[in-house]
Amino acid sequence: MTLENDAKTMAQILTDDFILVYGDGKRSTKANLVDDAKSGKTHYEHQEDSRRSVVVFGDTAIVTALLWAKGIEDGMKVDYKQWFTDVYVRTPSGWRYFYAQASLSLPNN
């Protein structure tokens, strides 16, 4: 999800078979994320990732980082940190976002 809810860019970057697996096992598809961005029910005032690592192996790139997100998700205020891992694949048209997994929200310190 982008800070601006740019559904058009999301639709271009995500592969058609994109899957996001949440820490509780729930899943979202490309269609779910693009529809959510279009609806405006989710809006972030802050998204920042840190402690990022990137590994590239052939036509696959894996990004892991700690995300801090603050805003509105499905009409509810949120402010959390979680680890995520994203998988990108190189295609003839460029890098595309193929798979993501997010941890449960980390306890507040």
- C-alpha closest to that of 73 among 82, 65, 64: 82
CATH number given to 7-102: 3.10.450.50
Say how many residues make up the chain.
109
The pTM for the full model equals: 0.87
Residue 67: its H or E element: strand 60-73
Domain ranges of the chain: 7-102
Tens-binned pLDDT, residue by residue, of the chain (109 aa): 445 678 899 999 999 999 999 999 999 999 999 998 888 888 889 999 999 999 999 999 999 999 999 999 888 999 999 999 999 999 999 999 999 999 999 998 5
